[in-house]
Amino acid sequence: MKKTKLTPYLMILPYVIFFITFISFPVIFSFILMFHKWNIIAPMQFIGLSNFYHLFHDSLFFKSLLNTLIFLIVHIPLQIIIALFFAVMLNQKIRFIGFFRAAYFLPVIVSGVVVTILWQQLYGFESGMLNRFLSAFGIAKVGWLEDSNLAMMSIAIMATWKNVGLYIILFLAGLQTVPNYLYEAADLEGATSWQKFRYITLPMINPTVFMVVILSTIGGFSLFIEPYVMTGGGPLNSTLSAVLYIYKQGFFFYHMGYASTLGFFFAGIILVVIVIQKKFVERDA
């Protein structure tokens, strides 16, 4: 009897150990750090709510939030439209379908650092292929990464290129669950392709749309590698994402308490955004 009760606990023990070590301990420790000043070397010093006071007076943090928002505004719609378009295309009976599905997915599995370095070459002001291509048509050089008004959008385009394959696969899975008889019935009623897409496909794949919106929102909020490798947050802090800023506070300057405060505050913002998205995007199919 006793042995039977113990077995389930033993079965979940590896995950419990993982959870305690890598999730609950760091989260609890970070929570404690929010009320302390700690540079790792010297002992922790209790400072009450000073980190929060600093946060609400830190204009650079709010700039990094705004930058992240700009990234999300460009990245999420672009990602959904492109992914849905290619998913619908790849859901047709076309030749080499396996090849195309694999090709679109390829950037997802390539390291973010590698993709970033490649795109850095494409975006180069003087030697980049994009500008060379544009100038062949007499179009002036574009400061993809040098112009502070454009740099975040350039990063959003690159991130879309890298991640879109994953969302294509998700949409494809969603599209394949739509029963064929609905389209047949619509055909009998004389519905156009657009009407079928608008009134059958979209409502039927709503759970997938919701999942893609949530995943790309969370992915977008975690924007880090691209600006870290490509621009370091510049020009003029225009690509400084919130996570990059938190990383700099924590690992450049060892303001561990402040970085924890920023991290929790930022997690709260993500939570609020996800709740709002859930309210507006998720509908019963």
Report if residue 22 touches another protein, rule: CB under 8 A: yes
Pairing type for strands 45-46 and 36-37 reads antiparallel
Out of 16, 49, 117, 202, which residue is the one contacting another protein (CB under 8 A)?
117
Report if residue 128 touches another protein, rule: CB under 8 A: yes
Report if residue 50 touches another protein, rule: CB under 8 A: no
Out of 254, 264, 273, 282, which residue is the one contacting another protein (CB under 8 A)?
254
Out of 19, 25, 85, 133, which residue is the one contacting another protein (CB under 8 A)?
25
Q: How far is the CB of 62 from another protein (least distance, A)?
A: 16
Q: How many residues bind another protein (CB under 8 A)?
A: 40
Cis peptide bond prior to 43, omega within 30° of 0: no
Q: DSSP states of 23-39 as a string?
A: IIHHHHHHHHHTTEE--
Report if residue 233 touches another protein, rule: CB under 8 A: yes
Report if residue 237 touches another protein, rule: CB under 8 A: yes
Out of 111, 121, 176, 193, which residue is the one contacting another protein (CB under 8 A)?
121
Report if residue 256 touches another protein, rule: CB under 8 A: yes
Q: DSSP states of 41-95 as a string?
A: SSPPEE-TTHHHHHHHT-HHHHHHHHHHHHHHHHHHHHHHHHHHHHHHHHTS--T
The burial class, CB within 10 Å (0-12 / 13-18 / 19+), for 262 is buried
d(CA 9, CA 265): 35
Cα atoms found within 13 Å of the Cα of residue 276, Cβ hemisphere only: 7
Out of 77, 179, 232, 268, which residue is the one contacting another protein (CB under 8 A)?
232
170, 211 contact by CB (below 8 A): yes
Report if residue 145 touches another protein, rule: CB under 8 A: yes
Report if residue 76 touches another protein, rule: CB under 8 A: no
Q: How far is the CB of 75 from another protein (least distance, A)?
A: 22
Closest to another protein by CB, 104 vs 221, is: 221
Q: DSSP states of 151-199 as a string?
A: HHHHHHHHHHHHHHHHHHHHHHHHHTTS-HHHHHHHHHHT--HHHHIII
Question: Which residue is it, tokens 């303001």?
Answer: 255
Out of 4, 92, 127, 180, which residue is the one contacting another protein (CB under 8 A)?
127
**Site of interaction with another protein (CB under 8 A):** 21-22, 25-27, 29-30, 39-43, 117, 120-121, 124-128, 132, 135, 141, 143, 145-146, 148, 231-237, 250-254, 256
